[in-house]
Amino acid sequence: MVSIQGQIVLITGASSGIGASCAKMFAKEGTALILAARRREKLEALAAELKTAYNSKIYVLEMDVSDRTAVETSWASLPKSWRNVDILINNAGLSRGLDKLQSGEIQNWEEMIDTNLKGLLYVTRSLLPVMVQRNQGHIINIGSIAGHQAYPGGNVYCATKAAVRALSQGLKMDLLGTPIRVTSVDPGTVETDFSKVRFRGDVEKAEKVYQGMNPLTPNDIAEIVVFCATRPLNVNISELLVLATDQSSATMINRQ
């Protein structure tokens, strides 16, 4: 295991779920953190918790990744001492609805494409030139089993995650010859606010997703992200598909 102590880690979607768990796990490793998300109060609360627990250096960045101008402005506003990001965790992402394409809401599609795909691109495009210039860095994209297998009603969400997978592969090609690493960590069912967001706050529908099964937790994924980031520099974990033991494909879940 290679130490990442003192490195700067930028996490998008850091206010909850896998992003917040990553923040905790990386703080534990002694990294400095740029916590990015739309909800400043949540980020401030998490930052306070991590400062108390680990004495972490933290910069809170209120930013909607889907807003290109906001991403560019946020990046431009980052103090110089925070610009040398060593590890970027592209975690911000969401799903909206589980409708058949023929009855899908276009606004939902836009939101998923703008966040999961364009947002990831905007953030990566901002940071990457500095990584290339410094000849150092690691980009870790949080993909999904949905990028490997489509499932009924998953249409556009699955398409965005398949695109993330293709981008991870393409980016690694573009960076060949540099020491910059690119990893895609692709989880199956993880119990977070993901389903509440997908069903716009319908808790009953959301809970059904995890009912009777033992899902992954955000910490399970965060531990794996830290593992990927702490491999020796000659090791690039390109892609990891991570499923709960109770899950064998996008649609096959063992429920008691």
Q: Within positions 181 to 210, which residues make up the interface with ligand 8X3, using CB under 6 A?
A: 188-189, 194
Q: How many CA atoms lie within 13 A of 167 on its CB side?
A: 23
CA 19 to CA 21: how far, in whole Å? 5
Judged by CB under 6 A, how many residues of this single chain contact ligand 8X3?
7
CA 82 to CA 72: how far, in whole Å? 15
Least distance to ligand 8X3, CB of residue 250, Å = 5
User: Distances from the Cα of 58 to the Cαs of 13, 55, 66, 117, in angstroms?
Assistant: 15, 9, 23, 26
Binding region for ligand 8X3 (CB under 6 A) out of 31-39, 83-91, 141-149, 230-238: 141-149
Among 144, 160, 183, 184, binds ligand 8X3 (CB under 6 A): 144
Q: Is 116 in the site for ligand 8X3 (CB under 6 A)?
A: no
Axis-axis angle for helices 120-134, 155-174 (nearest 10)? 10
Task: Determine the 3-state secondary structure of 110 from DSSP.
Answer: helix
Question: Which residue's CB atom is positioned nearest to ligand 8X3?
Answer: 144
Q: Which of 54, 122, 157, 210 is flagged as catalytic?
A: 157
Binding region for ligand 8X3 (CB under 6 A) out of 54-62, 142-150, 164-172, 226-234: 142-150
Q: Within positions 222 to 251, which residues make up the interface with ligand 8X3, using CB under 6 A?
A: 250
What's CA 41's distance to the chain center, in Å?
20
CA 224 to CA 168: how far, in whole Å? 17
Annotated active-site residue 157? The verdict is yes
* Binding site residues, ligand 8X3, CB under 6 A: 144-146, 188-189, 194, 250
Residues assigned a catalytic role: 157
